[in-house]
Amino acid sequence: MNMSRNLSERPTIEPRWLFPLLDIVLAFFAFGLSYVLRYELQIIRPILDPIQRDFGPYVPYAAMYALLIWLNYERNGLYRNIAGRSWLEEVYLIGSGVAVAIVPILAMFFILQPLVTSRLMLIYVAALTLLGGSLSRLARRWTLAYLRDRGIGIRRVLIVGLGEVGRSLLGIMLARPDLGYRPVGFLDDDDQISAVGMGRVEALGGTERLEAILERQNIDTVMITFGWKHYDRIQQLTEVCREMGTDLRIVPEIMQLNIREVQVENLDGIPLLGIGAHRTFGRFNQLLKRSLDMLLVLLLLPAWALVCLLVTLALALEGQGPVLFWQQRVGKDGQAFRMAKFRSMVRNAEQLQAEMLRESGEDPRHAKFVDDPRITRVGKFLRRTSLDELPNLLNVLRGEMSLVGPRPATPDEVELYEPRHRRRLQITPGITGWWQVRGRSNIPFDEMCELDMYYINNWSLSMDIEILLLTIPRVLFRSGAY
């Protein structure tokens, strides 16, 4: 096992020299294009000297600038493939690197006073370098996401210990496939936990089977989530991983606390960890979320009103019953409300569900039937395109639902919840959410809950916007809808 690799870095498939080389090329390209913009096209300000200046004298400055760009990016950690780092954070690192690199070049212009100088051209250089670096990182993210969706460049993970920390770890990997980790199974010495899988993540038995699992399955990384009170057992499992040459990660015991609840203070050199309540959905954040909902719904009102009119006409012509279907659902803090949908099933659909559950063996907490015979002809189209959920926007306007959040459950489903599942009821339910953009109907109930927990623990306004944007291709390509 390679113990020298920085453990905060995520797996990647591109060679480490690729982006340093690309950034150097982009720096030279920025100088060349800036020269064209300044002297050929004369953008912003014309050249007063009619004599055309050659690019040759700029080459040494371009080489120095490219070297500084590489050194600054290396120093500020841009080339470290940090797990969970956002694109905006990368843009910030690129911007700071460009700012630090351009200042010495500008100073050289003043000190050396070459015949060829253009401070405006340096502004072009900085702007083009920032643009090129940012777009290259964005293209990299899209490419890696495409490859990881097809199983390329991922690490297969075995989780050891599926307590609260193990479940949180599992939820993060399910919610963030862009990190490059795919959980394939878990081990736990609790017979009740190890007897049932977590959605599509297989339960593989107790920890004594670790060596056999590593021999039989292609596991890239083992993640141990036991507390230090199990130190002896952790040592034994560590030795097994070392002997098998398998990459190992151990969650520190302080991580038994949610790191977002920990504040670090310094008392004359002594670090103090303060543990406070984590209030992701405080009043201000709830106001922000509600404001986003209302803004988007009202902006899109003409479009969705027109679509609703067309759907209403189609359902009226089909003549299978009322256009709208109202169903009792459970919202925030367990409050019941009536959720509106376009009718997509026959009149006695709810009466037929109990019999279908007995025959199919589907999970009653999240029952989804492929080729459901209760769905009407128009209803099949509405469900494939998710148009049946458009009336949910009425619930959003009334404050009973949000655009993004856990999908509201029926009272019968909530009665089957375990205590940990009830955390889904802490916030306003939504039309779309993490589980919809990660697989929709294909996601089992337990896995869906872990994705909802990740959303609740990590909510931000940018996360809501990201989920809404990811929902668009899911709906257009009808992925996981039936």
Does the pLDDT of residue 378 top 70, yes or no? Answer: yes
Q: Quote the pLDDT of residue 5.
A: 41
Q: Both tokens of residue 315?
A: 């359902």
The HSE-up count of residue 98 (CA atoms within 13 Å, CB side) is: 24
Give the pLDDT mean for 352-366. Answer: 67
Q: Quote the pLDDT of residue 24.
A: 94
Specify whether the CB–CB gap between 237 and 210 falls below 8 A: yes
Specify whether the CB–CB gap between 346 and 357 falls below 8 A: no
Give the pLDDT mean for 71-98. Answer: 87
Structural domains for the chain: 18-149 (no CATH), 155-256 (3.40.50.720), 283-476 (no CATH)
Does the pLDDT of residue 259 top 70, yes or no? Answer: no
Phi-psi region of 386 (alpha: psi -120 to 50; beta: other; left: phi over 0): left
Q: Both tokens of residue 217?
A: 């399955």
pLDDT 10s digits, 18-58 = 999 999 999 999 988 988 887 776 776 666 554 456 677 77
Least confident segment among 72-86, 207-221, 325-339: 72-86
Largest CA distance in the chain: 88
Q: How far apart are CA 188 and CA 117, in angstroms?
A: 68
Q: How far apart are CA 104 and CA 29, in angstroms?
A: 19
Specify whether the CB–CB gap between 187 and 161 falls below 8 A: yes
Q: Is the model more confident about 200 or about 248?
A: 248
- Written as one letter, the residue type at 266 is N
Does the pLDDT of residue 291 top 90, yes or no? Answer: yes
Alpha helices in 36-86 (DSSP H): 59-75
β-sheet bridge partners, residue 273 = 264
pTM of the model: 0.65
Give the pLDDT mean for 179-190. Answer: 88
